[in-house]
Amino acid sequence: MAFFMKIALAQTNTTVGDFNGNVERIVRFARCARERGADLVVFPELALCGYPPRDLVEKPSFIARSEAELDRLAQLLPDIRALVGYVRRSGAEQGKQASDAAALLYRGKRVLDYSKILLAFYDVFDESRYFEPGNSAGLYEIEGWQLGVTICEDAWNDKNFWKKQLYTRDPVEEAVRAGAKLLLNIASSPFTSGKIRLRHDMLKAIAIERQVPVVYVNQVGGNDQLVFDGSSMAFNARGELCARAKSFEEDLVIFDAADGLGPKGEVEVRPGPASDVEAIYQALLLGLRDYVSKCGFAKVIVGLSGGIDSSLVVTLAADALGPENVLGVSMPGPYSSSASFRDAETLARNLGIDFRAIPIRSIFEDYLVTLDPAFEDRPRDATEENIQARIRGNILMALSNKFRSLVLSTGNKSELAVGYCTL
């Protein structure tokens, strides 16, 4: 039986808890997909409420809002099938009250509801704490072809790809055994170095092994400390890459399924990062930009010492937010060299950011006068030098409060591990 379907991979940047904004974004992408002739548009995991929702799913009102917004979304969508990730009531008498789910919407109705079976519980993931796992495969038939729906971790347990399996079930294998001729995997998979290539290799292996096309749609953007790179992709049944979205940007690409061996038309494969270093840099820019904007800030403040740590942070800030939104503050003290001040000033000028100098010598001396009786005539050591960092932190926070700007820490991991850095 001939099968032709254009599937749009809608790689969106959602905000946790912003139902109105997320719905607007989904509708906009769905309309664009319809204008480009897509028959089905696929959105990331929990695209409706944002990922990760964490303790928000402990609130019954949050789950109810998610389900109500899904029903509203179904009425707003154009005449196109849409697969959307959302939180729903699990219906379990015991256990967790929420499920990480995917709904296929068409003509104002849910025509499929699927709950994620494998819940990640390692590294940054704590899904089994919040969600009740699903139990059955998600299948939907279009023109005689069965589509198999899975969610993120569901695809990460292939016994032929992984030397060690974390779970006893393989939802991908179950879907294919149940008759799926095309696999859809919606995801919120955070970026780590090398992970884009790992996903590519894993999904390609699944397509070749199962002899079915694989469509993978990942979230993009920063939410809290997590950064999602997107890099959505689609493979035909031969394991050939037929569509790939941009990394670290919202995007919409079309995959022409065409009997599973497509594409029939133009291949949409966007180039990925040129190197691991470029990918890391782009991830830092995206994470910083989204954290600042999603927390309601427009500008940031960075303490400039003239050293490598603060120089890197302020360069990232200027690149991510624009130099007009960055304030560099030099706070020279009795232990500061004139060369370090000149370096900070030159860097600010080269970046085009606002720069201010606030000397702390007089404040530092007032501290010593106040602390002198308590120090009991003990000789000077690192204690006095470290007082500078506390003074600088107070100044940066005062500027933050006064100008409603976010302070960016310049501490490296070694310093943060022992609590030894300026904010």
User: Which positions are catalytic?
Assistant: 45, 116, 152
Please, which contacts does 54-60 make with residues 24 or more away whose CB atoms are closer than 8 Å? Answer: 54/16, 54/126, 54/130, 55/130, 56/16, 56/17, 57/87, 57/97, 57/98, 57/130, 57/131, 58/130, 60/97
Contact criterion met (CB below 8 Å) for 151 and 116: yes
Q: Looking at 57-181, which runs of residues are DSSP E strands?
A: 81-89, 98-106, 109-115, 138-142, 145-151
Residue whose C-alpha is closest to residue 19's, from 62, 77, 54: 62
Contact criterion met (CB below 8 Å) for 47 and 265: no
Q: Which residue reads 């469509």 in tokens?
A: 215
408 CB contacts (<8 Å, ≥6 apart)? 288, 300, 301, 302, 313, 314, 317
Instruction: Read off the tokens for 86.
Output: 């959302």
Contact criterion met (CB below 8 Å) for 336 and 371: no
Residue whose C-alpha is closest to residue 347's, from 314, 393, 300, 392: 314
Element (H, E) at 183: strand 182-187
Contact criterion met (CB below 8 Å) for 256 and 264: yes
Q: Cα separations (Å) of 7 from 82, 142, 182?
A: 10, 12, 11
Phi, psi of 46, rounded to the nearest 5 degrees: 50, 35
Contact criterion met (CB below 8 Å) for 80 and 105: no
Q: Which residue reads 């943060």 in tokens?
A: 416
Contact criterion met (CB below 8 Å) for 157 and 118: yes
| Residue-level length of the chain | 423
Q: Cα separations (Å) of 263 from 4, 192, 256?
A: 10, 30, 5
DSSP 131: B
